[in-house]
Amino acid sequence: MKSELNRNYSEVTEFILLGFITPPKVQILLFLAFLLIYMVTVLGNSSMVIVIKVDSRLHTPMYFFLRNLSYLDLCYSTVIAPQTLANFLSKEKKISYNGCAAQFFFFALFVTTEGFLLAVMAFDRFSAICSPLLYPVHMSQKVCAQLVTGSYICGAINSMVQTGFTFSLRFCGENRLDHFFCDVPALIKISCADTSVNQIVLFILSALIIVTTTTVIVVSYAYILSTVLKIPSTRGRGKAFSTCGSHIAVVSLFYGAVFFMYAQPGAISSPGPNKAVAVLYTLLIPMLNPLIYSLRNRDVKGAVKRILHRK
């Protein structure tokens, strides 16, 4: 059957992103909602990057990682949002084959890097709370730069492997993606080739990344919890927990969505729920992250007040 399809249809040169199939009036409402979300995402994450860079009191490892997290949120939402917004107002909703491959490559790069960076941030909190005297050594400027670079390298490796495997598939005849951006499950579903290897690779890589990073996070917080519970004063325990609360909230949202999308059986065959979850981690989480960190963080709020006061 596959070979017959390959003979009867020419190779696909562009894809149609079906997105959200709704009446025209609803499409306009979705456009306005997505535009508002993206504007808040750009404003929030750009502000975090600028505030942390400008205020010298925030030139610490924790805020260095937070600045990189904001940069990643800004990047991977920008990979998705403009094309999605354009498709809400377009009848054709097309994306070229190369454009689709580029979108997926950069999206996978930034999302995977963020997963590793969240693990690095957990290790940073572990070092600060459990080994405060050695913290300047464990988290020197050089080490911080190496950890961020390593996160990007891991992201790039996963992105290259996933992009290579996915776009080595044949797409003949069917070019309609039941999604609002180019993602692996939607692409695998319309391929006319045998996709069993791709599905195995997707599951193994996703599971490996999630298991590796979540292990670092869980072990770090297990040690943090053990250390914090030994602090005699309630105020001291509250202060220690407050530095971790925002990170735990972000990790829970991010990993919950990624696990549902890529590391569970049946992810490829469930486009409806996947699209809803994809909105969460491609658009809503990048919008929420700077709000979570800024609203819960006295240092960031203080830095914003100082910058505004100077003006």
- Tens of pLDDT, residues 134-145: 898 889 999 999
Residue 7: inside a domain, yes or no? Answer: no
User: Please, how many CA atoms are within 13 Å of residue 156, restricted to the half-sphere of its CB?
Assistant: 6
Does residue 178 lie in a domain region?
A: yes
The pLDDT value recorded for residue 91 is 82
Range picked from 99-103, 174-178, 189-193, 248-252 for highest mean pLDDT: 99-103
Using pLDDT thresholds of 50, 70 and 90, give the confidence band for residue 5: very low
What is the C-alpha to C-alpha distance for residues 38 and 34, in angstroms, rounded to an integer?
Answer: 6
CA of residue 89 relative to chain centroid, distance: 26
Q: First vs last Cα of the chain: how many Å apart?
A: 69
Helices (H) and strands (E) in the chain, counts: 12, 3
Buried/exposed 187-201: b ≥16 CB within 10 Å, e otherwise? bbebbbbebeebbeb
- Model pTM score: 0.88
In a domain, residue 226? The reply is yes
Number of structural domains (the chain) is: 1
User: Token digits for 230?
Assistant: 């030994």
6 part of a folded domain: no
Query: pLDDT tens digit string along 186-201?
Result: 888 888 888 888 888 8
* 18-30 average pLDDT score: 86
Per-residue DSSP letter, 10? P
Torsion sign across C-alpha atoms 168, 169, 175, 179: negative
Radius of gyration of the chain (CA): 21
Tell me which residue range forms the domain holding 173. 14-309
pLDDT at 240 over 80: no
| Contact in structure between 299 and 67 (CB atoms under 8 Å) | no
Residue 5 lies in a domain: no
Distance between CA atoms of 52 and 63, rounded to whole angstroms?
7
In-domain check, residue 294: yes
What is the C-alpha separation between 258 and 239, in angstroms, rounded? 30
Contact status, residue 202 vs residue 188, Cβ threshold 8 Å: yes
Q: Are strands 176-177 and 94-96 parallel, antiparallel or unpaired?
A: unpaired
Residue 202: CB atoms within 10 A of its CB come to 22
Q: Which residue has the higher pLDDT, 89 or 217?
A: 217
In the structure encoding, which two tokens stand for residue 103, read together?
A: 């979108």
Report yes or no on 60 lying in a domain. Answer: yes
User: Would 139 be classed as within a structural domain?
Assistant: yes
| 230 has a pLDDT exceeding 90 | no
Q: Which of the four pLDDT bands, split at 50, 70 and 90, describes residue 71? A: very high
> Residue 10 — pLDDT band, cuts 50, 70, 90?
low
| Residue 102 pLDDT level (bands cut at 50, 70, 90) | very high
Q: Return all residues near 42 (Cβ < 8 A) that are at least 6 apart.
A: 74, 77, 78
What CATH number has the domain bearing residue 171?
1.20.1070.10
